[in-house]
Amino acid sequence: MKPAFSAFAPVAATALALTLVLPGAARASNDLPPLREVEEIDRNMLWVALAIEISDKCDQIAPRNLKGLLVLNDLRGQARNLGYSNAQIEEYATSDAEKARMRELGEQYVKSQGLDPDVSADLCSLGSAEIARNSRIGALLKAK
């Protein structure tokens, strides 16, 4: 049996890659920290990924697709404004190591809420709680 988060990181990374790698002037600098160290981008990527996972695993919750795409587009813009190139953004979004790291962060977050990331009902409980408090994750979800 695959862990619940085995599919979520590639889906989120692919969505991010499709959204982040858009035409634009390259202003890359080798002096920039890896995108994983840019908390505003990395943390928001985690919230998007968790929202995708919750909506994929919970029949009672749906994603707010347009809102999610807007968040991803904003992340792309932030990365570009910080000077990251399309290649750097794509590497962050598609790297197997980053997918595994993001999966681990997602599982840690779910566990920190006293829930099991491998249990769909727990992901539904998390999603409902996040929606109720209109958190960064909850804002990307809606009850069906």
Which tens digit of pLDDT belongs to each residue from 81-92?
999 999 999 899
Residue 142 β-bridge partners: 62
pLDDT score of 8: 47
Stretch 78-107: mean pLDDT, rounded?
Answer: 93
Helix axes 8-20, 65-81, angle to 10 degrees: 60
Write down the pTM of the prediction: 0.78
Stretch 59-74: mean pLDDT, rounded?
Answer: 95
**Each residue of 16-50: pLDDT tens digit?**
544 444 433 344 446 899 999 999 999 999 999 99
Q: Where are the beta strands (DSSP E) in 41-140?
A: 61-63
Q: For tokens 């807007």, what's the residue?
A: 70
Handedness of CA 35, 36, 37, 42 (dihedral sign): positive
Torsion of CA 22, 73, 37, 10, to 10 degrees: -80
Stretch 117-125: mean pLDDT, rounded?
Answer: 96
Phi, psi of 62 (to 5 degrees): -120, 155
